[in-house]
Structure 1
């Protein structure tokens, strides 16, 4: 019988995060809400005056001051709601914050067009002025955006298309999350189970192959039934990307999406090229797992089945956290001290309760310490989740040493620090269990499977997006037949040793990330960078840690590729990805060796 979840009110205070560190009382929250509305209103008075340096500086100072307060309001409201999503009080606070943010962006809509229309040399001149030193990232972004800016009237027309542009994503999410039903299958105990997005992965991890196949068939047969609708939605999304790229005078949709992070297309292309060169290693990993699971002919519905290797780490949260801290001691006393503070000062909300948001995340504001939400269970996966989220938290902690306008780091590097923690913990655990074949096999499987899911799978997705957009740019129709053909061919290339299941051609239809175009490649590059950093830390010790912390401290003061160079990683070169894939090969050899007699 499943454990009955506690109500939020039944959870001991010491087992919750302390959000009072942001607002001790809700009266203080309401006071700040009223205050920030006044601050936002005042920003309107600077319209038409931003070509005067003193007025621009004053506006920027007040804008970022208002943003900091708004950030506190939203973060507090959202985290309170996440404690119990049925709490109407906090649903209301979140809704009010959403309206506030819309009002904020509307009031500031004049800023970018006005500055982009400034006399030649005005913005460039600000870059070297001490008074604007906190705002150089903002100003440089405008300078780089200027060649892609239209006339004021044309920009207004493009802006008016904004609501329409969001339609493909909105329609897809409504269809995918609310309208689609995947039917029922028979579970391991003979009971009827409704297949859902939430339980699909657990079902294809079942040790009962009939259950795995039934779940796979139920899910993708349903998507097949939308072979007219979903391709039409995705085609509209691709056309939207092409529209914005062409109106913005970019050479392609891909380039337009890479430009905000100052990432050259070679980074994207080199990732795909390097991963394609190592698909044989992926296939070897899949083959070893097939043998360990006693499967002669491996199908796509078998990919998530973990071998039974006779080992796990089952620790209560407090002990698991202490193990994470100990495994990360190589990162130095200052890093360790913050991790200890996080536990002692209740930065973490560790346990599941009725109504609590699922999954895990790290959040916080410039004026608060980071917070972490998890739903901890006693196994290695959740121990690594804790390490992962604390990596995000420490990245934010160090980044907040930057001035507020330069503290926020790019999504391109967002997964680096979290993955460094995961890898360091796994590597340290391997050192500790080097003489235990079952433990080594289990730990190696976890790291290799992370590689599979993060580097190989996300790169395959990135390759699909690139091909689909290139087809759209050539005027080729994006239909179920054409898109399924592309996706099927990619799966045949990446998983050449699997029995081909025709339904896998429909898998692209269930990936919501495709409506946030050219985003998923960042998972693969981030993982590759993290592997390289973790390797240097283990090999060099203190010098590599010092470089890594310079990266953590950089926040948003540098573009992501330049920030990673502080850690000794040059993502403009194909080397980090190639080295990560070479490391995959070395780990795979160890995995093959320790499992050969199992």
Structure 2
């Protein structure tokens, strides 16, 4: 782990090419002005949406404006995400957000005005061939009739947009820019910067003093802000409660599930199913502790990989090439786009000072996806390549097949393509490296731990924190830490629970995108089923899978997954995934026992 570069020191070849969005900032300004002009024009359709021709014109202009606004926002956000301290990018981002709020305010009349039309008119518009691009929008509109306010009230709610975004913005600035962790020593005894991207690699150290120093360095720092982070999070949760109540939903959770047309029972059943299998989770973490010679394991030890004599450590481009090769079952056309993404610099792979932590893929309709990473040379980050490029390919294929108004796929299915890639890569590596089967099984099982179990724990934390807010209970460090500590004790019954672990929830940026993380768990379950069928059935299943990837938002997410032979309306995929976890765990236990005996 060397010195973290400043953004200006990063070679151009190791950066994403934002010229694909706009060649110059003046081009951005021109697009910004065009969006502003379009926003003004959209207001001219108010009172005319009951006319067929005017409705078509308004929706066409709305869609064109959304696409251009998406590019304007993406340019500002992508620049800021790699250089948070840059005041110019901060200003661009603020302007883009303000433009989005003005856009939302100006179009706020559309939904209530359309809902004031007769059901027969809306049904006729939905079924009109010339309006086919807006079929799902109009169908969703009919569903939302009970949750729509008057035009004046909808405009008032739309005006709160910037205020509603504030908690996330404040959290991001504090977490990535203003807050600094202490330096710690790595396994070689060298003092290194403790960063968001470098934290988990240190937690994988086989030296407990290294893990403890990293753990205490990170969570001890969060502890120093034990009043600030709960205040920011409470503002975020209260924002969710406000929007849910304004929309006449019974709860924040119901409001967040509504756009995906997902029943509340799915969320609750996920949590219940995972609780039924925490015994297997504890068998897994306990076995890993024994393999590492840890007599009294705690949560500080949960990231440590067992010493099984196998690992993969490649530089970024070699790792990328390996991922592409392992995804051969998805076809040469799929692989060709992955190679194109690297050659054309869709990806910003390495950490630099002021860069957003983690990894993501961000879509820009009419251009291509942009992928942010903070790559380190280990198997986990190799799988991150597979994961994020799965997102990118989902967006690429959806955009290629669907009109702009139906290209965006639901967040409910967003984690499926990414996880299918991860699973296919791991299964292929097991075949290529039988000597590493135990370690690769560990890695897949640890994906279950991190994705199905851990994200469900997060989902349960969100359900409880929002319930507390809706009941008028204060969200403080004491109350939120207590909830988080209790959940960890319930999930990890075999591990000691350090007091500082109660602060971990403060490190999770996804909580500012509320009720998102459960989709990692459901997506993982669906992906396990799809990856297994691809390897068993070959080309016919690949075609079904690509039909799903290309569906975009043309179907409700549960219906889209049915294209890939997965029915999430039942609890069967989650339960089957958890049973597969138990099966793989048994296989891992046998191999690990044999290797230990040898």
The TM-score with structure 1 as length reference comes to 0.88
1:557 corresponds in structure 2 to: 554
60-69 or 528-537: bigger deviation: 60-69
Q: CA separation of 1:45/1:530 partners in 2, compared to 1, >3 Å: closer, same or farther?
A: same
2:106 corresponds in structure 1 to: 107
1:392 corresponds in structure 2 to: 391
2:247 corresponds in structure 1 to: 248
2:285 corresponds in structure 1 to: 286
1:406 corresponds in structure 2 to: 406
Residue correspondence of structure 1 range 422-501 to structure 2 within 5 A: 422-434=422-434, 436=435, 439-475=436-472, 478=475, 480-501=477-498
Query: Structure 2, unaligned stretches of length 5 or more?
Result: none
Counterpart of 2:530 (choices 533, 536, 544) is 533
Deviation at 1:391, TM superposition (A): 1.2
* Alignment check: 8 A CA contact 1:544 1:567 kept: yes
* Alignment check: 8 A CA contact 2:50 2:117 kept: yes
1:573 corresponds in structure 2 to: 570
Deviation at 1:60, TM superposition (A): 0.9
Map Cα deviations across residues 16-68 of structure 1 (whole Å, 9 max, x no partner): 55544444555554544443333333222112222222111101111211222
Counterpart secondary structure, 2:371: strand
Map Cα deviations across residues 289-335 of structure 1 (whole Å, 9 max, x no partner): 10121100101111122223332223344433332222111112322
The CA distance in 2 between the partners of 1:453 and 1:228, in whole Å, is 28
Counterpart secondary structure, 1:113: helix
Deviation at 1:208, TM superposition (A): 2.5
1:56 paired with 2:84, answer no
Counterpart secondary structure, 1:127: helix
Q: CA separation of 1:248/1:45 partners in 2, compared to 1, >3 Å: closer, same or farther?
A: closer
The CA distance in 2 between the partners of 1:356 and 1:471, in whole Å, is 34
* Alignment check: 8 A CA contact 1:395 1:552 kept: yes
The CA distance in 1 between the partners of 2:248 and 2:173, in whole Å, is 32
Deviation at 1:395, TM superposition (A): 0.9
* Alignment check: 8 A CA contact 1:8 1:84 kept: no
Residue correspondence of structure 1 range 90-239 to structure 2 within 5 A: 93-155=92-154, 158-159=157-158, 165=164, 169=168, 197=196, 199-221=198-220, 223=222, 230-231=229-230, 234-235=233-234, 237-239=236-238
Query: Structure 1, unaligned stretches of length 5 or more?
Result: none
Counterpart of 1:592 (choices 570, 589, 592) is 589
The TM-score with structure 2 as length reference comes to 0.88
Give aligned pairs, total.
Answer: 594
Map Cα deviations across residues 133-176 of structure 1 (whole Å, 9 max, x no partner): 11122222222111012344554555566566556556655665
The CA distance in 1 between the partners of 2:412 and 2:156, in whole Å, is 30
Map Cα deviations across residues 116-143 of structure 1 (whole Å, 9 max, x no partner): 3334543233211112111122222222
406-415 or 384-393: bigger deviation: 384-393
The CA distance in 2 between the partners of 1:266 and 1:530, in whole Å, is 21
The CA distance in 2 between the partners of 1:520 and 1:272, in whole Å, is 12
The CA distance in 1 between the partners of 2:48 and 2:234, in whole Å, is 42
Counterpart secondary structure, 2:127: coil
The CA distance in 2 between the partners of 1:567 and 1:451, in whole Å, is 21
What is the RMSD computed on CA atoms of the aligned residues? 3.3
Deviation at 1:186, TM superposition (A): 6.3
Q: CA separation of 1:365/1:171 partners in 2, compared to 1, >3 Å: closer, same or farther?
A: closer
2:35 corresponds in structure 1 to: 36
1:269 corresponds in structure 2 to: 268
